[in-house]
Amino acid sequence: MNTQLRTILPSLLLLAACTEPGSGLDSDTTSESGDTAAETQEFTACDDEFTITDANPMYAWTPNAITLESHELSPGVFVIHDANANTYAPAGIPLATSGGFVIGDDGVLLVETMVNRQLFCQVIDLVREQTDKPVLYAINTSFHGDHSFGNAYLPDEVQVVQHERTADHIAAHFDEDIAFMENGFGADQGIAEATPVAADVRVTDDGWSVDLGGVVVEAQYHGFGQTHGDLFVHVPSAKVLWTGNPLIAEAPALPWLLEGQAQAVSATLAAVKASVPADTTIIPGHSHPLGLADFDFSIDYLDTLVDEVQTAVDAGLTVEETVAAVSMEPFQGYALWDWIHSGVNVPTTHAELGG
């Protein structure tokens, strides 16, 4: 479908919902609530049944073993997260991607589309438990497949919203991201079924917002968060903010510095924290809703990491010696500590600081 048609289709759907009977549309399904539009929107990717499997302990988390649940945070504003979040997150056990949806008078906006068809279809089921209104938009907070591969299963008329650098990254590196996701989450989870989808809305650093009818959703850029194109999704009227991966979860989860830049990530998290009211509900990339103070563990971890690695570099330590020296015991507890802290965060920071 061409871009122009994608742009006008949601308006056509809304128009159809308001059309008088006898116009050629199925008048039986026309109602003031816009039911016609919903019934025109089919998620054919979700026609087949799926089964929740056992988790494979070799994976960080097992996509097909995940059950997602949703909770209403404010009228029409829902978080979606891993059903194990309340027990796993405080114990430092990694969780599936979190997301959510916002329902306006005109339709629905999704935050994240998940890593595979099964999790995408769970999201759609959770939306359909609440409303028959059409899904109009899907925002991905980054290019990472666990936040965006489900775009492949969206009907064409849904507008995909991404930072422009995220869109460019997906266009150039999709196969690499499939390989990375299969490496972390399994080659037997349907991940490679996904195909790249071009963004319909390319968000610049100045951000983007949409009025869904009675509720405004903003996609904000606050600087380098984990990638060059991280979006933070804010519903000001509800005081709800989705962070994506820059804030993975509460303590003891750590930032995954897959592209380094510990200092920039710390500054971005501090800027995000300062940008919203103190009683804002924070939905991290991979956990249940948190408060503003839950930014502090990640920020303190990053600042301590930079200080201690800089000391090691100044003392002439090799990367192996730095990993051994920068053990940061007060911050330990994350199940992926060895992989993320010792394997990723210390080595990348060591290289950046001149080691």
Q: Which is nearer to Zn ion, 150 or 285 (CB)?
A: 285
Q: How far is the CB of 144 from Zn ion (least distance, A)?
A: 5
Q: Are 154 and 117 in contact (CB under 8 A)?
A: no
Identify which of 101, 191, 109, 102 has the alpha carbon closest to the alpha carbon of residue 146. Answer: 191
Residues 226-255 contacting Zn ion, CB under 5 A? 245
User: Which is nearer to Zn ion, 133 or 144 (by Cβ)?
Assistant: 144
Collapsing DSSP states into helix, strand and coil, what is residue 354? coil
How many whole angstroms from its chain centre is CA 22? Answer: 42
What residues between 292 and 331 interact with Zn ion by CB under 5 A?
A: none
Based on CB atoms, which residue is closest to Zn ion, 247 or 346? 247
User: Scanning residues 271 to 290, which ones bind Zn ion (CB under 5 A)?
Assistant: 285
Residues numbered 168 to 227 that lie near Zn ion (CB under 5 A) are none
Q: How far is the CB of 244 from Zn ion (least distance, A)?
A: 7
Q: Of 223, 297, 218, whose CA–CA distance to 261 is shortest?
A: 223
Q: Per-residue string for binding with Zn ion, 124-163, x by CB under 5 A?
A: ----------------------x-----------------
- Region for residue 10 given its phi and psi (left: phi exceeds 0; alpha: psi -120 to 50; beta: otherwise): alpha
Sketch the per residue contact string, 72 through 101, with Zn ion: x for CB under 5 A, - otherwise: -------------------------x----
CA-to-CA separations, 185 to 14, 144, 151, in angstroms, rounded:
39, 12, 18
Task: Kindly give the pairing relationship between strand 208-211 and strand 216-220.
Answer: antiparallel
Nearer to Zn ion, 60 or 136 (CB): 60
| Nearest to Zn ion of 119, 154 (CB atom) | 119
Nearer residue to Zn ion within complex by CB, 9 or 80? 80
Dihedral of the alpha carbons of 270, 271, 274, 279, in degrees to the nearest 10 = -80
Q: For tokens 């404010």, what's the residue?
A: 74
C-beta of 355: minimal distance to Zn ion in Å? Answer: 28
Shortest distance, position 17 Cβ to Zn ion, whole Å: 35
Tokens of 5: 């048609």
CB of 149 vs Zn ion, minimal distance in Å: 11
- Consecutive H or E run containing 268: helix 262-275
Alpha-carbon distance 248 to 250, whole Å? 7
Question: Smallest gap, in angstroms, from Cβ of residue 294 to Zn ion?
Answer: 17
- Complex with Zn ion: residue 191 or 309, whichever CB lies closer: 191
Residues found near Zn ion in the complex (CB under 5 A)? 97, 146, 245, 285
